[in-house]
Amino acid sequence: MNVHTSPADIAAAPAVRIAVAAKTWPPVAGRPAHTVLRAVNLEIAPRSFVVVSGPSGCGKSTLLNIVAGLDRDYTGSIAFGAADARLAFIFQSPRLLPWKTVQENIEIVLPDGDRRRANIPELLSRVGLSGAQSAFPERLSLGMQRRVAIARGFVVEPDILLMDEPFVSLDDPTADALRTLVLELWHRHPTTVMFVTHDRREAVRLATRIIRLGGPDATVVETGDNAGGRQSSVVADHDVTLSLDERCSAERLRAEQARVFGA
Amino acid sequence: MSRAADLANDRRPANQGLQRLGWALASLATLVLIWAVASAVAQSRHLPGPGQVFGLVVYEAQTGALWISLAATLLRVAAAFTAAMLIGSAIGLAMGRNPAADKFFDAWLILFLNLPALVIIALSYVWLGPYETTAILAVAINKIPNVAVQMREGARNLSRDLDEMAAVYKLGWIKTLQHVTLPQLAPFFAASARSGLALVWKIVLVVEALGGHATGVGHKIYVAFQSFDVGMILAYALAFIVVIQIVEHTLLQPLQARLNRWKR
């Protein structure tokens, strides 16, 4: 299973060009204004699986919301390779419509013309939901609801697929099954993925490229190819032992890394 | 997979409804029995027994007076109810979505919530005259603040998460309104409709009596009251309770159940 980005892909125009000069939260209730992102300049190659990692609260989700167009209060620009790029977003919570059945939740995001074309029963069986198509989401477990959200993300055949910690608060086997599922779907429907997580093990497992945000006003502290990491479990095992630095200090992370790897 | 299928087919047992009906019947039968005993003991023309009152209902139905009165009152209830739901929802949504409007009109809402029905009715007739529209307006004004409060609560609780989902997947405003926003407001609408019906029909009777209208259940009860005809008062009251219960069970409750069927 070779998932390297080929040299041709790298040479092609980026799928997303991110140039966020600054994102600042206004002062709230005595708390001063606070810059979460500064000078985040990235080019995301088409069909790459980019994991944005970094400690909690360092602006990863904010960056994803900016790319999604949900947050327009920033300085800078986001440009997509395709003129009318189709986006999908798999959120941290499933965000399903509780009054719609599983099937309706997936159908609703399709433009009216595409509804017949999309093979929803096949998609449902691929994500392990056959038989649940007429269930209401609140009657399903969280893991099952997440599967519906994943199916909804892939059904629109997005140019850009954004995922914001989509596997939090699941038990390990369930989360791992869903990681496998997402990789399978991604191989079948190649698309550009931006995936946010604070879990370094997850980052190494999924990514073709890892971007780490850090620093007091988070910026890109590290970006690197992860082709080796995905294929070598040794690196992944070492990574598990890394502890996260809650204070977003890139230096400490590097020091810890050096200690673990004995570099 | 089979677990999902089981969950999808999960339905409440059917005999639960029958059991509830049984309890209701037993409880009503007991009430009628107490009434019969009290009336037999009192031996007063101010407390006729159940048989006598039921006979009056049948008699009024045969002469047609019952149906004409019920129809007149029901029409007023329907008109006032519709007006109150529409106007109250519009005010509630505007206040729930616009903090400035909410702050400004909150005091007005509190004033109208606490204004006694009798005052609204009296002033309506003084200012507008003894017309059909006055009756409907007076009833609607009594109900509008309650609807507005409930719909404001619904509008305040609209999910930003779902709005964002609709935005990312480019649902467009029609699909968003139809499938994302209105379903969130529906439970609040259904709840205020049910409590609204209960309030509206009681006030309509008062308005019919005080406003000097020549038709309707309120008029009949007012006439009966002037001659202390308790039998007739009870006959019309019971007939109207039955009608309202039919509306409640055949229209409002199924509507609410349908709107809430996705809840676990």
pLDDT-derived band at A58 (thresholds 50, 70, 90) equals confident
In this structure, which amino acid lies at residue B176?
A: T
Q: Does pLDDT of A232 surpass 60?
A: no
- Is the alpha carbon torsion for B75, B77, B80, B82 positive or negative? negative
pTM, entire model: 0.72
Segment B6-24 shows an average pLDDT of 68
The answer to whether A196 and A169 are in contact (CB under 8 A) is no
Structure tokens that stand for A216 in this block? 């007091």
pLDDT confidence of residue B160: 92
Residues of B with CB below 8 A from A91's CB? 161, 164-165
pLDDT confidence of residue A130: 87
pLDDT confidence of residue A168: 87
pLDDT confidence of residue A203: 86
Contact B7 A130 (CB under 8 A): no
pLDDT confidence of residue A227: 55
Checking DSSP bridges between strand A160-164 and strand A192-196, what pairing results, if any?
Answer: parallel
The answer to whether B260 and B187 are in contact (CB under 8 A) is yes
Q: Which of residues 162-201 of B touch A (CB under 8 A)?
A: 162, 164-165, 167-171, 175, 179-180, 183
pLDDT confidence of residue A247: 32
Pick from A5-14, A220-229, A247-256, B161-170: least confident: A247-256
The answer to whether B138 and B204 are in contact (CB under 8 A) is no
pLDDT confidence of residue A216: 61
Contact B171 A108 (CB under 8 A): yes
Best of A72, A99, A134, A136 to substitute, by most chain B Cβ atoms within 10 angstroms, is A99
pLDDT in tens, B43-77: 988 899 999 999 999 999 999 999 999 999 999 99
Q: Does pLDDT of B250 surpass 60?
A: yes
The answer to whether A213 and A60 are in contact (CB under 8 A) is yes
> ipTM of this predicted complex?
0.79
The answer to whether B134 and A53 are in contact (CB under 8 A) is no
pLDDT in tens, A4-24: 444 444 456 889 999 888 888
| More confident: A58 or A2 | A58
Q: Which of residues 81-110 of B touch A (CB under 8 A)?
A: none
pLDDT in tens, A194-231: 999 988 888 888 888 888 887 666 666 666 666 544 43
How many beta-carbon pairs under 8 angstroms link A with B? 77
Q: Does pLDDT of B10 surpass 70?
A: no
CA distances from A22 to A18, A34, A76 (A): 12, 10, 7
pLDDT confidence of residue B3: 45
pLDDT in tens, B77-91: 999 999 999 999 999
| More confident: A35 or B57 | B57
> B12 and chain A: CB distance < 8 Å anywhere?
no
Q: Write the residue in A100, A139, A156 that is nearest to B10 by C-beta.
A: A139
Structure tokens that stand for B94 in this block? 């505007």
pLDDT confidence of residue A217: 60
The answer to whether B53 and B234 are in contact (CB under 8 A) is yes
Q: Mean pLDDT in chain B? A: 89
Give all strands (DSSP E) within chain A, no chain letters. 16-25, 34-44, 49-53, 75-80, 87-90, 160-164, 192-196, 209-214, 219-225
Structure tokens that stand for A180 in this block? 């496998």
Q: Does pLDDT of A32 surpass 60?
A: yes
pLDDT confidence of residue A218: 60
DSSP characters for A15-35?
SEEEEEEEEEEPPBTTBPPEE
Nearest to A178 by CA among A211, A210, A144, A153: A144
The answer to whether A26 and A33 are in contact (CB under 8 A) is yes
Best of A65, A93, A96, A97 to substitute, by most chain B Cβ atoms within 10 angstroms, is A97
Q: Does pLDDT of A98 surpass 50?
A: yes
